[in-house]
Structure formats: C-alpha cells, structure tokens
Amino acid sequence: MMASFPTAEKAADLLALVRGRRPRVHCLMNTVVQKFTADGITAIGGIPSMTSSEEEIESFVTKTDALTINLGTLDEARRKVIRIAVTIANRQGKPWIVDPVHCDYSPSRLEFAHELSRLHPSIVRGNAAEMAVIGDVGGALRIQTGAVDSLSDVDRKVRIVNGHALMAKVTGTGCLSGGIIAAFMAVEPDAMLAAASALTVTGVSAEIAARHASGPGSFEVAFLDALFNLKSEDILSHARIEHDED
Amino acid sequence: MMASFPTAEKAADLLALVRGRRPRVHCLMNTVVQKFTADGITAIGGIPSMTSSEEEIESFVTKTDALTINLGTLDEARRKVIRIAVTIANRQGKPWIVDPVHCDYSPSRLEFAHELSRLHPSIVRGNAAEMAVIGDVGGALRIQTGAVDSLSDVDRKVRIVNGHALMAKVTGTGCLSGGIIAAFMAVEPDAMLAAASALTVTGVSAEIAARHASGPGSFEVAFLDALFNLKSEDILSHARIEHDED
Amino acid sequence: MMASFPTAEKAADLLALVRGRRPRVHCLMNTVVQKFTADGITAIGGIPSMTSSEEEIESFVTKTDALTINLGTLDEARRKVIRIAVTIANRQGKPWIVDPVHCDYSPSRLEFAHELSRLHPSIVRGNAAEMAVIGDVGGALRIQTGAVDSLSDVDRKVRIVNGHALMAKVTGTGCLSGGIIAAFMAVEPDAMLAAASALTVTGVSAEIAARHASGPGSFEVAFLDALFNLKSEDILSHARIEHDED
C-alpha cells in the first residue's frame, strides 16, 4: 500500500482533532522559550507541560501524549533527563521529536543529537545549518525548516511553502513548531502527515499574523492570536503543500 | 469579634495601598513564567525579585515584604531553596503563599506540597484538580481558582466571580495571581481580605482586557495594560464578590 | 589625540553597521528575561545565543563577536561558567559588558561583581543603587542608567537623555540594553561610542514605542517593533546626547 501525501484537507481535519482531543505535550525545552512554546501549544488546542526535573520526568512523560525534545541551553542534567524521557516514551510507544538547536555551534550538542537520532525518534527537525551537520537520521522523518520547509522519509518528499519572514525575527518560532508538531503526532500516527499538517497550520497562521503586524513584537502577539483563531477555510484557501510525483 | 468580609471598596483601597507602598515580592517561580509574573507584579505596583540561588535566598527574603512559592519545574535544588525561604519568612513573620502547580501530575511534587502545607503558609492556592489531591491545608486560607474562585478559612467562605475564559489560554495567569496575592498580603494582614481583593483586581482587569483582545496573544498584552491602568471606579462597578451569610 | 564624542550621526552609522554585519552576541543572562533579550538583539539586527552550560560555553564564546554578562538569578554554576567565558573573551580580545543586577540586594552578588570588575570588562552598567555599591570599575567604561543615562571613562563624560518612563515598568529593559550595547561593541572598538550609540538607539525606540502604548504590555510589543523599524532620520531628529565641554 502506498503511503498517502499530506493535503490541506488533512491539515484542517487534524487541527480539528487536536482541538477536540486536547493532547498533552511534554516539552524538554530550552529555558529561553518555555512560555512562548507553552502559549503556542495552548493556542492550537493542546495542553503543555515543561518540567526538566529528574525526579518528575517519569510521571510527566507517562501522562503525556507526545514529547518534544529541544537541545537549546543543554547541560549534563538536561541530557540525563532527556535520556530517561526517551526511554519511557519508547517503552510506552509515544511519539517524540528532536530539535537539535544550534548543534552546529557546539560539538557536545552535536554528539548528543547523534545519540538521540539513533534512539528512534519519530522526527528530527532543524534549520539548514543544523541538518547539514546532523547528516543521517536513521528511520526518522527528516525536516529542514526555512523559507520553505522540506520533509522527507523513505517514501515521500514534501515541501510546505507557507510561512513568513517575520518568523525568523521572533526567538523560538522553530522551537514552538516542534511543540505543535508533537501535538499533531498525538492524533495522527503517520509522522509525515502530522508534521506537514502542523507546519501548514503554523505557516498559514504566520501569514495571517503578518497582515496585522508592524514588526516582530506585534507579529508574535498576532501569531498566537492566529493559531488560536485559525479556521478550516483559512487552511483550505492558503495551504501550499507540494510533493514530488512518483 | 467577627472577621469582616471582602468588598469592592476594600479591594480598591488595597490596590491604592499597593501602588503607594510598592511592596517587594520575592518569587520562587517556575522558569516558564518568570518574566510574565515579574511584569504583572510591576504593573500592579509591586517590586518583584526572582532568584532561586541557594546562597542568595536569605538576602532576598530578608529584603522582601511577601513571598510566593510556585512548585512548577521543581527539582531538588529548588526544594532546598524553598525550605530555606520558608524558614526565614516564618521567623521574620512574612506572609507566603504556596501554588502547588501540577501536583496532581507528580507524586514527588504532591508530597512536597503537603510538607509545605504543614509549615503554616498564609495561603494555598490551586485549581480544582490540584486542590482535590492537596486535601487539608491546616490553618491556611484555601483558594481554589477557576471560572469562579472559591476562598475559605475557618470563619468565611467567599467567591470571586470576576475573570475571563481567555485567562486559561495564557500560560501563567494562575502563577501571576499568586504573585499579586502576595503583593496584597504585604499591605493587609488578613489573608482573606488580601487574596479576595487581589483576585477581584485580577479578574476585573481580565474582563477589561478581553474587550480589547482577539485571542490569547493580544489578551496577555491587554491584561498587563489593564492591571497597570485599573481605576477604583472599575473595581467598584465590576466587582462580583459573593459570600455565604452567617 | 583627543578621543571623540558620540553623536547622533555616529549612532545612526553604527546601527547601519550592526544591521549589515549581524554580529553574534552571546548572553549569560538571568533566566527571567532570556527571550526578551534575544528578541531585542534580533530586532536590532544581531544574532543572540544564550547557553550557560559549562561544557558548551567555550564553543559559543569562540563563535561570538561580543558578550553580555548579567548577574540576575546567579548561582555557583553560573559563576563558574561566567569565569570561563570571561577568560576566553579576554584571550580572544572580545568585548564584554557586566550588568550587576540587584548587587545591592545580595553580598555574594556584589562580591562577584567586584571580582569581574577587576578582570578588565569593557563596560560595567547598572542603575544608581547598583553603581553606588559597585564603586570603582577600574579602566572600564562606567554607565549608570536611569531617567538619564550617564557614561564616563577617563577622558569623557556623556549623558543620554532619551528614553521613556514605561521602560521601568517592563522587566528586562535594562538587561536588554546590555545585549544591545554588546552588539554595538562588536562593530565599534571605542566602548564609549558604541554604548552611547546603543543607548541612544534604545532610548529613541522607547520614545517612539510609547506613542503607540497604553501600558507596559503594549509598550513592550511596540518597543520591539520600534527597534526593528528604527530609521536613521528617527535617530537624527530625536537623539539627545550631551557632554561636558573640555
């Protein structure tokens, strides 16, 4: 059976599912953008949690529906907690995504990103510089975000053309997209369909937000509003999802 | 002598006192919402501080007028610092409030919430799920926040009906309300009067903010503006404080 | 040869250089205002990074063009990382600024501020209460920020009169100004010219933002927009830079 390709209709349906089921998303998130990520996951309909405490991580991962692991502001304590979280998520069959922030800056962070890539994440997502040094991600869905987001697994290559240049002027939009992808994976087992839908929703919301923005400050505010208010018809009319024909 | 009940007039008077005296509020706050809490305390007229460093906590608690202790993103280091802070606050007769965030998720967090409840906090405040597992809070004022906030001590049961649904869509409004309650306790020794007034001020500000908001992003911005600009007449005309007649 | 004095024209030129060269600014920043600082540095044209991890700090300082060291939420781990960062920055000849937040509250923080002052920072910047306890800063440029910012080195005394009272109502504007000063030092070796220009840009942006603000929430948003959109002519028409004639 052929794997199916993402569509605007699928994105709209999955957004409705996220809002209906309200999945829990646990975030092992850098300290810089914890609130922005939590606000974005809430805006889209999910329920975020954020602790990185070693004695609490098992309880929180056991309660969550999906996990996003962000390597910003990484130290030995966070590495240890991430290993525990991944072990539990794998044992419980929960989807998780790795966001190897700035692994092109730091050898120790890159080494850890490689370690995580071998532990069967659902998705590895980074920008061009990060994905260049990451290299192979095993069986995971590979996502390179930028002006155009490129997604690839063994069967499919997909591009999401939605988005806006102001996203790069607000710290944490990439980190937040990891959290939103996790929320979509909680309601859709095919990581490609989940991630492409999440990135379409994020990109269309950014386009709507940019119409109301006069700079990065007002864009961030309008972006949270747009995620919260996004309608199926917005997705259907704005989505620009491309894929290579077989 | 009968304990008095909170009123709109009292809330307006205490807000004026907070703005006049500018109390210091030290926050042992989860890392997610530190800035939002600090901004909210400043907007209402207080002076926030935030360090959780073990070697600094004594200096900061000694300088502060009230303390809010939030159990989000809890680990062993924070637990240790919280114990020191509580010991100093109790010795110096300073009011403190416990916010047992997500103690329904984590057994170790619940256990610590119980430990703190026995150390004579002025107030324990949580949502319905948290307060259900917390159970008895000894002699402290008990506050369960939600669509309606319910406050109870040995003498009085009070309900604050003010607020807006968008508060639940912004991460940290509950944590912030703990900081605002602490600021009001710094100017009013009766914890019931202080907390009911603080929650009325917070709830009325949220109602005003919601008129200018088109989603959670713009609501958060408008909420900080409303806290800063709130007038006595706004409180007098909007407050919905209820209590059981004896 | 006489050292030159800062001017509006110089501030406009340096802003253009920052936007053209996009300097990297590493921030050892308190956990409260990491995102606000990162957003502000990005808005002005720089590229922020934030890790405080011991095993990563060497990689990040080696990649950066300038460093801002903020003593908020200080503990032993951060102190250790700061010492490493300073050693590397000094060895590589990179400019760095110290922001001794709340060193008037905490003896251990003041002691560390004194230690750093002896390690040849380019700049020490604080408010009146902080600078009073700091005392001598060796050969560094000394900046006392407030309603008027006062800058002094061995040759020059300069005052920046730009700014707005709402800056004091938003947590982290002082911390952010440290990051913006660092970005300007990355393109201008004379610390006085860099800092005076950065504070002029920050102050003029705040004045523009205040016109669109109805409180601290909307001011913060408008401030980030204003930093992003600031034009040379805004600086030339608004700058109020004063200095003592020799």
- What number of other Cβ atoms are within 10 A of residue C128's Cβ? 12
pLDDT at C3: 80
DSSP string, A85-149: HHHHHHHTT--EEEE-TTTTT-HHHHHHHHHHHTT--SEEEE-HHHHHHH---TTSEEEE-SSSE
pLDDT at B246: 52
pLDDT at C246: 52
Q: Which two tokens stand for residue B233?
A: 């007449």
- Beta carbons of C35 and A171 less than 8 Å apart: yes
Q: Which of B43, B48, B54 sits opposite C216 (nearest CB)?
A: B43
**Pick from B74, B14, B76, B70: which is nearest to B45 by CA?**
B14
pLDDT at C54: 93
Please give the mean pLDDT across all residues of chain B: 96
Question: Residue A194 and residue A181: Cα distance in Å, rounded?
Answer: 7
**Pick from B143, B157, B129, B136: which is nearest to B98 by CA?**
B143
Using a 10 angstrom Cβ sphere, with 0-12 exposed, 13-18 middle and 19 or more buried, the burial of residue B113 is buried
Phi-psi region of C80 (alpha: psi -120 to 50; beta: other; left: phi over 0): alpha
Is residue A96 scored above 80 in pLDDT? yes
Residue B246 lies in a domain: no
pLDDT at B1: 56
Contacts of C108 in chain B (CB under 8 A): 55-56, 59
Please give the mean pLDDT across all residues of chain A: 96
CA distance A107 to chain C (A): 8
Q: Which of B31, B102, B217 sits opposite A220 (nearest CB)?
A: B217
Residue A228 lies in a domain: yes
pLDDT at B42: 98
pLDDT > 90 in chain C, percent: 91
Residue B134 neighbours by CB under 8 Å, 6+ apart: B100, B103, B110, B113, B114, B117, B124, B126
- Identify how many contiguous H helices and E strands chain B contains and give both numbers: 10, 9
Q: Which two tokens stand for residue A116?
A: 């995580």
> Which chains touch C (3+ CB pairs under 8 A)?
A, B
Using a 10 angstrom Cβ sphere, with 0-12 exposed, 13-18 middle and 19 or more buried, the burial of residue A6 is buried
pLDDT > 90 in chain A, percent: 91
Mean pLDDT of A19-36: 96
Mean pLDDT of A100-112: 91
Please give the mean pLDDT across all residues of chain C: 96
Strand partners, A159: A150, A242
Is residue A36 scored above 70 in pLDDT? yes
CA distance B36 to chain A (A): 9
Residue C2 lies in a domain: no
pLDDT > 90 in chain B, percent: 91
Mean pLDDT of C167-194: 97
Question: Residue B166 and residue B209: Cα distance in Å, rounded?
Answer: 10
- Our count of domains for chain C comes to 1
Is residue C218 scored above 60 in pLDDT? yes
- Beta carbons of C60 and A214 less than 8 Å apart: no
Helix (H, G, I), strand (E, B) or coil at A150: strand
Question: Residue A115 and residue A130: Cα distance in Å, rounded?
Answer: 15
Residue C149 neighbours by CB under 8 Å, 6+ apart: C143, C159, C160, C163, C199, C203
Q: What are the 10-residue block averages of pLDDT along chain B, 246 residues in total?
A: 88 98 97 96 97 93 97 91 98 98 90 96 96 94 96 96 97 96 98 98 98 97 98 98 81
Residue A3 lies in a domain: no
Residue B66 lies in a domain: yes
Q: What is the pLDDT of residues C67-79, one digit of tens each?
A: 999 998 888 999 9
Residue B2 lies in a domain: no
Q: What is the pLDDT of residues A158-206, one digit of tens each?
A: 999 999 999 999 999 999 999 999 999 999 999 999 999 999 999 999 9
Question: Residue B198 and residue B188: Cα distance in Å, rounded?
Answer: 11
Helix (H, G, I), strand (E, B) or coil at A193: helix
Contacts of C214 in chain A (CB under 8 A): none
Mean pLDDT of A229-237: 98
pLDDT > 70 in chain C, percent: 98
Helix (H, G, I), strand (E, B) or coil at C48: strand
Dihedrals φ, ψ of A141, to 5°? -70, 135
Which of the residues C33, C70, C78, C106 would you substitute to probe the B interface, choosing the one with the greatest number of B C-beta atoms within 10 Å? C106
Find where tokens 């409705």 sit.
Answer: A16
What CATH number did the domain enclosing B21 receive?
3.40.1190.20
Residue B41 lies in a domain: yes
Is residue A92 scored above 90 in pLDDT? yes
- Beta carbons of C217 and B229 less than 8 Å apart: no
Write out the H or E segment, with its range, that includes residue C49.
Answer: strand C47-49
pLDDT > 70 in chain B, percent: 98
Mean pLDDT of A37-65: 96
Which band of pLDDT confidence, cut at 50, 70 and 90, is reported for residue C106? confident
Which band of pLDDT confidence, cut at 50, 70 and 90, is reported for residue A1? low
Is the Cβ of A129 closer than 8 Å to some Cβ of chain C?
no
Mean pLDDT of C214-218: 98
Which band of pLDDT confidence, cut at 50, 70 and 90, is reported for residue A245? low
Is the Cβ of C109 closer than 8 Å to some Cβ of chain B?
yes
Contacts of A75 in chain C (CB under 8 A): 52-56
Q: Is B40 annotated as a binding residue?
A: no
Residue A108 lies in a domain: yes
Sign of CA dihedral C161, C166, C169, C173: negative
Q: What is the pLDDT of residues B200-246, one digit of tens each?
A: 999 999 999 999 999 999 999 999 999 999 999 999 999 999 997 65
pLDDT at B225: 98
Question: Domain range for residue A19?
Answer: 8-243
